């Protein structure tokens, strides 16, 4: 057996271990973490399975009629609907799509790493990507993150092969992958496209090639067109005004004050420590040192720079949602692989051998220390009883064709999703909860009294934080 083949089999073994580890969790409800986002994604898929797939008008009836609120291109949801069509339960179907997307990311990360470093470094990068608390929790979640990541990594892999080998198939595959990455989540795929401009092959940079600009430009143009189109459709729903692009700019980027506020760095710090095995202070310099002497130094340094640039630029998103780190997790894993290559190349030094032992021990200790954060994928989520109690109340006090008005929990989709009801989950109902759960967005310009005066709405339900619900005559 040749050396590369042996290591490829190790890569398959790593992936198999991951799958076996998370497989028992695929039947879990979508409530263990970021239930709002997981069920929001799943709700569209469920309605696709019931009514048919319409990619241009994805249903999401949680902010009132007409119940069409396109955000990211609903490819993930469409695949989930197809799986539901085989008879698999709704929640499990969504987790299967999430897992498949994560595994595709892992595969393309390994393939890309093999083009940039040796066999051992590539295996280490794959292992770092798979075996951490973040991957264990979100690699099988009903979230679109890893489908966008897979598209971006596949783009980099095929585009680099196009420049090296000149095969048209690679150009086509890369263009399609770039479209997937940008359409599924532009804040992920859009950034992952850019390093390809710094790939150097046959004496020319990527930015010197019209064909590469065509790949990047196609993805950006289609992604921009989708963003403009989807905003027009969202405007049909008055209560979704806070999701307009004008409001989203502040939501995406945050403020200078946030960046200077030390408590705002808690989520970024915890996520980075989990993804680096508490070794961020060492892996960063080691990765840069190895990248500078690699086959593609400028390209690799650009990839590593995304780990810092993207979270800092989109600070509000990354300071609130730890699952956003799926976008930079592959680059962190590549950094760990590069760092290991540097350590192995200098292992004759005593301090290097000591650092290797220390970093390996820290990785294991981090996995053990973060047990409480990743072990929640097994068993019943702590919020399940409350959510199901509220959902049962909603279902028992409404009809399938009612537009239920729900107050007390923000615009969390989980309750309407599990109740099987359409409605308006009032976004401004509980600012404190929204700030803690998924970020406060400006709803001050929305006149909910006027919107809810429409006789189409009712019943009106209020649920407190203890999941005690009651019917109300009016808002």
β-pair type (200-201, 204-205): antiparallel
Q: And the tokens for 181? A: 């990455």
Q: What does the radius of gyration of the chain's CA atoms come to, in whole angstroms?
A: 23
Asked if 220 and 193 count as a contact pair (C-beta separation under 8 A), the reply is yes
Asked if 306 and 195 count as a contact pair (C-beta separation under 8 A), the reply is yes
For residue 52, with 0-12 CB atoms within 10 Å meaning exposed, 13-18 middle and 19 or more buried, which class applies?
exposed
**Using 50, 70 and 90 to split pLDDT, how confident is the model at 440?**
low
Mean pLDDT for 259-276 is 95
Closest of 427, 429, 432 to residue 469, by C-alpha: 429
CA gap 460, 423 in Å, rounded: 10
- pLDDT for 120-166, tens place per residue? 999 999 999 999 999 999 999 999 999 999 999 999 999 999 999 99
Phi, psi of 113 (to 5 degrees): -60, -35
Cβ burial 130-165 (10 Å sphere, 16+ → b, else e): bbbbbbbbbbbbbbbbbbbbbbbbbbbbbbbbbbee
Mean pLDDT for 80-94 is 98
Local structure of 305: helix, strand or coil:
helix
- pLDDT for 177-186, tens place per residue? 999 999 999 9
Mean pLDDT for 221-236 is 94
pLDDT at 269 over 90: yes
To the nearest whole number, what is the mean pLDDT of the chain?
93
pLDDT at 436 over 50: no
Mean pLDDT for 357-370 is 97
pLDDT at 435 over 70: no
- pLDDT for 196-218, tens place per residue? 999 999 999 999 999 999 999 99
pTM: 0.95
The H or E element that residue 204 is part of is strand 204-205
Question: How far, in Å, are 150, 314, 319, 325 from residue 310 at the CA level?
Answer: 17, 6, 12, 10
The H or E element that residue 281 is part of is helix 280-291
pLDDT at 462 over 60: yes
Q: Across-strand partners of 425?
A: 406
């Amino acid at each position: 057996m040749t050396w590369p083949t042996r290591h490829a089999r190790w890569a398959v073994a790593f992936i198999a271990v991951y799958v076996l580890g998370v497989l028992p969790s695929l039947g879990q409800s979508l409530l263990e973490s970021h239930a709002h986002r997981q069920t929001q994604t799943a709700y569209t898929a469920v309605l696709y399975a019931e009514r048919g797939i319409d990619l241009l008008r994805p249903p999401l009836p949680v902010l009132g009629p007409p119940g069409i609120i396109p955000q990211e291109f609903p490819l993930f949801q469409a695949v989930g609907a197809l799986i539901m069509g085989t008879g698999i339960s709704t929640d499990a179907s969504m987790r299967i799509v999430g897992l498949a997307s994560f595994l595709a990311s892992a595969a393309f990360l390994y393939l890309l790493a093999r083009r940039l470093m040796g066999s051992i470094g590539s295996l280490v990068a794959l292992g770092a990507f798979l075996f951490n608390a973040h991957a264990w929790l979100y690699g099988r979640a009903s979230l679109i993150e890893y489908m966008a990541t897979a598209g971006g990594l596949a783009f980099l892999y095929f585009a680099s092969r196009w420049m090296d080998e000149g095969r048209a198939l690679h150009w086509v595959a890369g263009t399609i992958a770039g479209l997937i990455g940008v359409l599924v989540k532009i804040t992920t795929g859009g950034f992952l496209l850019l390093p390809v401009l710094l790939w150097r092959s046959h004496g020319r940079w990527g930015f010197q090639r019209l064909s590469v600009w065509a790949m990047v430009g196609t993805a950006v143009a289609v992604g921009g067109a989708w963003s403009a189109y989807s905003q027009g459709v969202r405007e049909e729903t008055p209560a979704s005004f806070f999701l307009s692009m004008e409001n989203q700019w502040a939501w995406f980027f945050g403020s200078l004050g946030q960046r200077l506020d030390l408590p705002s760095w808690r989520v970024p710090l915890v996520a980075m420590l989990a993804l680096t095995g508490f070794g961020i202070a060492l892996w960063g310099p080691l990765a840069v040192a190895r990248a500078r002497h690699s086959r593609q130094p400028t390209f690799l340094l650009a990839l590593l720079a995304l780990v810092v640039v993207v979270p800092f630029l989109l600070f509000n998103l990354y300071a609130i949602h730890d699952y956003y780190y799926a976008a930079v997790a592959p680059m962190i894993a590549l950094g760990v692989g590069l760092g290991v290559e540097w350590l192995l190349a200098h292992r004759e030094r005593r301090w290097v051998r000591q650092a290797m032992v220390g970093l390996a021990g820290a990785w294991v200790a981090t996995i053990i220390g973060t047990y409480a954060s990743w072990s929640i994928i097994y068993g019943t989520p702590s919020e399940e009883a409350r959510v199901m109690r509220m959902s049962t109340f909603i279902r028992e006090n409404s009809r399938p064709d009612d537009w239920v008005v729900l107050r007390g929990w923000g615009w969390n989709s989980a309750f309407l999703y599990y109740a099987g009801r359409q409605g308006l989950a009032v976004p401004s109902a509980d600012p404190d909860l929204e700030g803690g759960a998924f970020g406060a967005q400006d709803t001050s310009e929305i006149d909910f009294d006027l919107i809810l005066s429409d006789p189409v709405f009712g019943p009106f339900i209020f649920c407190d934080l203890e999941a005690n619900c009651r019917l109300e005559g009016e808002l």
